[in-house]
Every structure is written in structure tokens, then in C-alpha cells.
Amino acid sequence: MTATTSRVNPNVSAATARAAAKAANENQPVTFGKALNTALADSLVADDSVVIFGEDVGTLGGVFRITDGLTARFGPERCFDTPLAESGIVGMAVGMAINGMRPVIEMQFDAFAYPAFEQVASHVAKMRNRTQGKLSLPMVIRIPYAGGVGGVEHHCDSSEGYYAHTPGLKVFTPSCVEDAYLMLREAIDSDDPVVFFEPKKLYWSKEQVDLEQLARDYDAKKSAKTEGQARIARAGSDATLITYGPSVSTALEAAKLAAEEGINLEVVDVRSIVPFDDDTVCTSVRKTGRAIVIAEAQGFASVASEIVARVQERCFHSLAAPVLRVTGFDIPYPAPTLEKFHLPSAERILDAVDQLQWEA
């Protein structure tokens, strides 16, 4: 963002500003971060066994404020800070889950979760299988992930592939405010461990969503399930953009631009990477006959690669063109001034659309 001059217009009187603020309050759009925060609070209310901990999640409310106010409202026994040790946080959560709790833990940033990888891969993922179902680990590992926020090194990794590759874990990633709320509630209520990826560039994004109504519907079990359910983020007919998390908004932007040129793109938001919804993805591709998979993570041996493989195995005879990928390059995540060259952009997606062997 470039430096700007004051956004305050001196010509607007104080009274007008107050009236505008009041109107805005009544019709306040909700941020993605607030939806997550509300989901955590509602889960703490709904289930006494839910407990939240991590680094800076207590008094501070998390470096992204996702746990803001929870310690004050629910007490330090329900939401508390731990020593600075990711393996310790995950390992302690394993023990608490063994002993009847539902821990929801925060890894402060994607790449800071790596010290905990042994606990995740060797225990979180395997405990149920190891014990023939006798020990389940209902726990959620929240990971703010991906780039687009000008973060320095180790703060922008798209690490979902490591976890998606590990049997026994579920991997969710919401891309809109409504899903942020519903998917986190569902993750916390799951009897399996869920690695919950939060696209950090979306934390401040706003939508007009009635969180109270969402909560009432969820508590009354009226909400549609999101686990294992992809979402059609935009209906279209000419080609399918398959994506998730931070790239959904980019895909939607590309679809909007394509529509101006008369190409009608469908956008599928995977949401639940594990378990994966083959049906929704493949139904869309069979309908359009063309597909591009988009993700920020480096493409080699990635979730995007897996989706391409699944689509061609299942939709080969419906395809008019090879399934393409638009992903991050196979490089370590770049420094802030260079990240725009690395991340999938609407333009790069449209270039890929052009390559889908359209008939002349």
C-alpha cells in the first residue's frame, strides 16, 4: 500500500460523520477474523471440554486478534498462553485430547508450525489408527497461512501439502466469512484432528453476514455440512477453476474479467482438502470439459498436483484440454517486494484459460 494523505474529508461535518457511523453500525459487515473469533467463543459456550491455547492467544488475543477477548470472557482456564514451544503446544494438546478435552491450538504462523511436525505426523495423525480407534484426538490446529500480506520470510508459507499428505488428519481452509464461522465450528466438533488453515490475507476482508443467524442454524443442526463438501463459488459453463483458501478471491476476479470477454468460468472452492470432495469437483469438470487448478503453494508434489491427477483419472473422457495448474513457482517464498511475481494472479489465470484449446 502506498502512503496516502489523510482519509478524513474536512468538508464532512461531525454530525454527518456520526450519522454515517450509526448507520454503518446497524449494517456492519463482518470480518473474516471476527467470524473465526465468534466461532471460537460459541464453541467455548457450547462445549465445556473446549480449551484454547497457544502463543500470545491470552491477554493479547493473538497476533491477528483471532482469540481477542476470550480469556477475559471465559477465564484463563479456557483460553491461555503457553511457553513459546510449538511441539510442546501440540504435544500437550494430544494429552489433553486423550484425557477428554477438545483443544483448539494456534500456531502463530505457517512456518512456525514446523517444530511441531513430529507431534503432528507421528501422533496427532496416527493415534486413532495406532490404538484401533480406542483413542481419538478431537483437536484443532489453527494455522494462519499463505501470503499476499507483505510478510517477511517464514510468515507466508502455504504448508497445506505436508498435512494433506499425512493420513489421519483432516485439512480445512475457508475462503469466505460464512465458511470461516461454520467450518471452524465443524472442525472443533469433529472427533478427528483438523488442521485448520486460515488465509491470513482474508482476516480483514468483510462481508455482510448475520453471524447470530449462522450460529442459531449451526446449533440447531440446520447448517449444511462443509466437511468433505466443495462449494460452487461461482456458477459457469465454459471451464472450471478449482481452488481454495486465499486463491478463491483471485479466481473469482479472473472469472469476472473473463465474463467481460464472454467466457463463463465456474469457480469451485474446495474448502475441505481432506476429506476431498471428488463429486462436486468432477461434476463441474464433466460439465465444462476444461479445468485449471489454482493454489499459492509451489506446484511440485502439491495439493494442486493431486487435484489434477484425480480430475484426469475420473474425467478423462469429458476433457477437451489438459488440466492445467496455476500455482506458486517452485521456489522458497519470496521477500515482500517480490511476492506479487510469485503468487497466482488473475492475469496468469486468464493466460492459462487461453491455453485450454478453445475451438477457433
Partner 1 sequence: MSAEATFGRISEVSKKFGITPEDYMLPARHMINLLNPDGSLRPENEQGTEPGHEYPLPSPARLMEAYAALVKGRRVNDQNSALVRQGRMAVYPSSHGQEACQVAAALCLGENDWLFPTYRDTVAVLTKGVAPMEVMTSFRGEWHCGYDPKAYKCAPMSTPLTTQLLHAVGVAHAAKLRGEDTVVVAMCGDGATSEGDFHEALNFAAVFNLPVIFFVQNNKYAISVPLSQQSAAPSLAHKAVGYGMAGERVDGNDLMALMAIMTRAVRMAREGNGPLLIEAHTYRMQAHTNADDDKRYREDSEVQGWIAKDPVTRMKAYLEDAGLLTDAALSTIAEDAEVVAKALRDGMNQDANTDPRELFEHVYSVKSTQLTEQQALLVDELDREEA
**Given 50, 52, 94, 107, the residue binding partner 1 (CB under 8 A):** 94
Q: Give the C-alpha separation, 298 to 37, whole Å.
A: 30
Which residues lie across from 357 on neighbouring strands?
none
Tell me whether residue 231 or residue 290 sits nearer to partner 1 (CB atom): 231
Nearer to partner 1, 10 or 133 (CB): 133
- How near is the Cβ of 233 to partner 1 at its closest, in Å? 22
What character string, x for contact with partner 1 (CB under 8 A) and - otherwise, covers 33-52? ------------------x-
Give the separation between CA 351 and CA 254, rounded to whole angstroms. 10
Three-state secondary-structure class, residue 360 = coil
Q: Which of 46, 47, 56, 92 binds partner 1 (CB under 8 A)?
A: 92
237 sits near partner 1 (criterion: CB under 8 A)? no
Question: Strands 140-145 and 194-199: what pairing?
Answer: parallel
* Residue 133 sits in the site that holds partner 1 (CB under 8 A): yes
Q: Which stretch binds partner 1 (CB under 8 A): 31-39, 112-120, 235-243, 341-349?
A: 112-120
Could you tell me if 36 and 66 are in contact, meaning their C-beta atoms sit under 8 angstroms apart?
yes
Can you say whether the dihedral through the CA atoms of 110, 113, 119, 121 is positive or negative? positive
96 binds partner 1 (CB under 8 A): yes
- From the list 128-136, 141-149, 329-337, 350-358, the region that binds partner 1 by CB under 8 A is 128-136
Can residue 99 be called a binding residue for partner 1 (CB under 8 A)?
yes
10, amino acid identity: P
How many Cα atoms within 13 Å fall on the side-chain side of residue 35?
30
User: What DSSP element (H or E) covers 143?
Assistant: strand 140-145
Give the count of alpha carbons within 13 A of 219, CB side only: 13
CB 188 within 8 A of CB 43: yes
Total residues contacting partner 1 (rule CB under 8 A)?
A: 48
335 binding partner 1? (CB under 8 A)? no
150 binds partner 1 (CB under 8 A): no
Task: Give dist(CA 234, CA 226) in Å, integer.
Answer: 17
Out of 34, 170, 200, 325, which residue is the one contacting partner 1 (CB under 8 A)?
170
User: At closest approach, how far in Å is the CB of 85 from partner 1?
Assistant: 4
Kindly tell me the burial class for residue 28, based on how many C-beta atoms sit within 10 Å of its own C-beta (0-12, 13-18, 19 or more): exposed
User: How near is the Cβ of 122 to partner 1 at its closest, in Å?
Assistant: 5
The single-letter DSSP state of residue 108 is S
Q: Distance (Å, rounded) from C-alpha 243 to C-alpha 299?
A: 13
According to DSSP, residue 162 is labeled H
Question: Is 305 a binder of partner 1 (CB under 8 A)?
Answer: no
Q: How far apart are CA 309 and CA 24, in angstroms?
A: 47
Question: x/- site string to partner 1, residues 247 to 286, per CB under 8 A?
Answer: ---------------------------xxx-x--------
Residue 165 sits in the site that holds partner 1 (CB under 8 A): no
Q: Does 77 sit near partner 1 (CB under 8 A)? A: yes
Measured CA to CA, the distance from residue 329 to residue 112 in angstroms comes to 21
For partner 1, which residue of 47, 63, 87, 264 counts as binding (CB under 8 A)?
87
Positions marked active-site? 155
Q: Which of 98, 85, 84, 89 is nearest to 52 (CA)?
A: 89
Q: Cβ closer to partner 1: 90 or 346?
A: 90
**29 vs 76 by CB, closer to partner 1:** 76
Span 308-327, contacts to partner 1 by CB under 8 A: none
Interface with partner 1 includes 59 (CB under 8 A)? no
219 belongs to the binding site for partner 1 (CB under 8 A): no
**CA R_g for the chain:** 21
Interface with partner 1 by CB under 8 A: which residues?
A: 51, 76-77, 82-83, 85, 87-88, 90-101, 103, 115, 118-119, 122-123, 126-136, 167-168, 170, 190-192, 228, 274-276, 278
